[in-house]
Structure 1
């Protein structure tokens, strides 16, 4: 591999802005803001709008607004009946 072309990784604390959930991970992102972590060390802080702590898919609060497919919605909208549907 070529030397000097790969970004340098560092430990960074990511924080979910909506819930305050924080986790420590390796990243190439840089930040001027820092935070003291549970181990007593200071790490750069990256704020995020959404994470696994607040995303509806992971929290189980996902809304299923679209139960029908495109064809079913078209048929309902224009009053077309399904020939194979039970009467």
Structure 2
């Protein structure tokens, strides 16, 4: 890698604003806010959604019955 062209990579705490879930990860993002996490102080990045609140990971995803194209066409324009 070339020197002095890549941003600094450091540990950051991400917090899901909808659930309060926090996790530590490496990032190039910085913040003026800090938080105590496992006895250390880290920059805090607030995110709106994470694996703790996303419907795919929580199992709260709603599955709708998807009709095929032919069925939708027949429902809209089909003979009665």
TM, length-normalised to structure 1: 0.81
What are the ranges of 5 or more consecutive residues in structure 1 without an aligned counterpart?
A: 81-87
User: Residue 72 of structure 1: CA displacement?
Assistant: 2.9
Over the aligned positions, Cα root-mean-square deviation in angstroms equals 1.5
Query: What residue is the counterpart of 1:83 in the other structure?
Result: none
* Structure having the higher Rg: 1
Task: Extract structure 1 runs of 4+ deviating beyond 6 A.
Answer: none
Query: What residue is the counterpart of 2:43 in the other structure?
Result: 44
What are the ranges of 5 or more consecutive residues in structure 2 without an aligned counterpart?
A: none
Query: What residue is the counterpart of 2:17 in the other structure?
Result: 17
